[in-house]
Amino acid sequence: MGERLFGKPDGGSGGASRTRTGGAPDQNRSDEIGGGASGATQGRTGGASGVLDETRSETAPRGPAGATAAPERAEAPRKAHEGRDRAEGAPASAATATRSGILGFLTATRGRGRMDWTDWVSYAYLTFGIFLMFGPVVWLVLSSFKDQNELDRFPPRFLPYAQETMVVDGFDDPLPIFVVTEGELEGQRVGQTRRAAGRAEVVTQDDPDNRIRLTTDQITPVEGVAFATENYTQLFERFNFMQFFWNSTFITLMSTAIMLLVNSMAAFALSKYQFRGRTSVLLIVIGTLMIPQTVVLVPLFLIVTEMGMFNSLWGVIIPGAATPTGVFLLRQYMITIPDEILDAARMDKASEWKIFWRIIVPLSAPAIAVLAILAIMWRWNDFLWPLIVLTRTENFTLQLALNSFQGELQTDWPSLLAMTVLTLLPIASVFMFLQRYIATGIASTGGK
Amino acid sequence: MLTILNPLMRIVEIPMLALQRLLGINRLAWAFLLPNLVLFGLFAFLPVILNVFYATTGSDNVLLEARPYIGARNFESLTDCGNYLDANTCREDKFWRAVFNTIWFVTLQVGIMVGFALLTAVILNRDIRARGFFRSVFFFPVLLSPVVVALIWKWILQREGVLNAFLDWTGAGGINWLVDAGWAFGWSVFISVWAHMGFYTLILLAGLQAIPRDVYEAAEMDGASAWRTFRRITLPLLSPTMLVVLVLALIKGVQTFDEIYAFTGGGPGTATTFIIQYIYERGFAGAPRLFGLAAAASLLVAGVLVLLTLAQLWANRRNVDG
pLDDT on residue A78: 45
pLDDT in tens, A156-186: 888 888 778 888 877 878 888 888 887 777 7
- For residue A310, pLDDT over 70 is answered with yes
A130 neighbourhood in chain B, CB within 8 Å: 134, 137
Residues in chain A: 448
Chain B within 8 Å of A138 (Cβ-Cβ)? no
Average pLDDT value for residue range A383-392: 92
- Looking at chain A, which residue has its C-alpha nearest residue B319? A43
pLDDT in tens, A83-104: 444 444 444 444 444 445 555 5
- For residue A341, pLDDT over 70 is answered with yes
CB contact under 8 A, A402 and B155: no
Please report how many Cα atoms fall inside a 13 Å half-sphere around the Cα of residue B213, on the Cβ side: 18
Q: Which of residues 39-58 of B touch A (CB under 8 A)?
A: 39-40, 42-51, 53-54
A402 neighbourhood in chain B, CB within 8 Å: 147-148, 151, 262
Residue B29 near residue A265, CB atoms below 8 Å: no
pLDDT on residue B109: 96
CB contact under 8 A, B210 and A423: no
Determine the Cα angle at A308 with ends A305 and A312, to 5°: 90
pLDDT on residue A407: 66
Chosen from B12, B43, B233 to mutate, greatest number of chain A CBs within 10 A: B43
B16 neighbourhood in chain A, CB within 8 Å: 351-353
What total of structural domains would you count in chain B? 1
A71 neighbourhood in chain B, CB within 8 Å: 206, 209-210
What span, in angstroms and rounded, lies between the C-alpha atoms of B41 and B50? 12
- On average, the pLDDT of chain B sits at 87
Residues 6+ positions from B287 with CB-CB distance below 8 Å: B60
**Gyration radius of chain B over CA positions:** 25
pLDDT in tens, B46-68: 998 899 888 888 887 778 887 88
Residue B36 within a domain: no
Residue B71 within a domain: no
Chain B within 8 Å of A254 (Cβ-Cβ)? no
Q: What is the DSSP letter of B71?
A: T
pLDDT in tens, A27-53: 333 333 333 333 333 333 333 333 333
What span, in angstroms and rounded, lies between the C-alpha atoms of A164 and A181? 17
Residue B174 within a domain: yes
**CB-closest option in B119, B132, B252 to A54:** B132
What span, in angstroms and rounded, lies between the C-alpha atoms of A305 and B289? 15
Q: b/e for A322-350, b at 16 or more Cβ within 10 A?
A: bbbbbbbbbbbbbbbbeeeebeebeeeeb
pLDDT in tens, A246-272: 999 999 999 999 999 999 999 999 999
Residue B50 within a domain: no
Residue B237 within a domain: yes
pLDDT in tens, B88-131: 778 888 899 999 999 999 999 999 999 999 999 999 988 788 88
Residue B48 within a domain: no
Pairing mode, strands A219-221 and A175-180? antiparallel
- Looking at chain B, which residue has its C-alpha nearest residue A79? B213
Q: How confident is the model at residue B271 (pLDDT cuts 50, 70, 90)?
A: very high
Give the DSSP per-residue string, B144-189.
Answer: S-HHHHHHHHHHHHSTTSHHHHHHHHHTS----GGGSHHHHHHHHH
Residues 6+ positions from B147 with CB-CB distance below 8 Å: A383, A399, A402, A403, A423, B258, B259, B262
Residues 6+ positions from A204 with CB-CB distance below 8 Å: A185, A188, A189, A190, A191, A210, A212
Residue A44 near residue B319, CB atoms below 8 Å: yes
- For residue A105, pLDDT over 60 is answered with no
Amino acid A372 reads A
- Looking at chain B, which residue has its C-alpha nearest residue A124? B123
- For residue B80, pLDDT over 90 is answered with no
Q: What is the pTM of this model?
A: 0.79
Q: How confident is the model at residue A19 (pLDDT cuts 50, 70, 90)?
A: very low
- A253/chain B closest Cα distance in angstroms: 13
CA-based end-to-end distance of chain A: 23
- For residue A375, pLDDT over 80 is answered with yes
Identify the three-state secondary structure at position A179. strand
What span, in angstroms and rounded, lies between the C-alpha atoms of A90 and A395? 70
- B73/chain A closest Cα distance in angstroms: 18
pLDDT in tens, A191-226: 888 777 778 888 887 777 788 888 877 888 888 787
| Domain interval for residue B205 | 93-321
What span, in angstroms and rounded, lies between the C-alpha atoms of A108 and A95? 12
Q: What is the DSSP letter of A174?
A: P
Residue B212 within a domain: yes
**Complex-level ipTM:** 0.88
Residue B68 within a domain: no
Find the CATH number of the domain harbouring B260: 1.10.3720.10
**CB-closest option in B152, B202, B279 to A51:** B202
pLDDT on residue A398: 92
Identify the three-state secondary structure at position A441. helix
**Gyration radius of chain A over CA positions:** 31
The Cβ of residue B137 has, within 10 Å, a number of other Cβ atoms equal to 21
Phi and psi, residue A162, nearest 5° = -145, 155
Q: Which of residues 249-308 of B touch A (CB under 8 A)?
A: 252, 255, 257-258, 261-262, 265, 276, 279-280, 283-284, 291, 294-295, 298-299, 301-302, 305-306
Chosen from B19, B36, B306 to mutate, greatest number of chain A CBs within 10 A: B36
Residue B114 near residue B245, CB atoms below 8 Å: yes
Chain B within 8 Å of A79 (Cβ-Cβ)? no
Residue B104 near residue B254, CB atoms below 8 Å: no
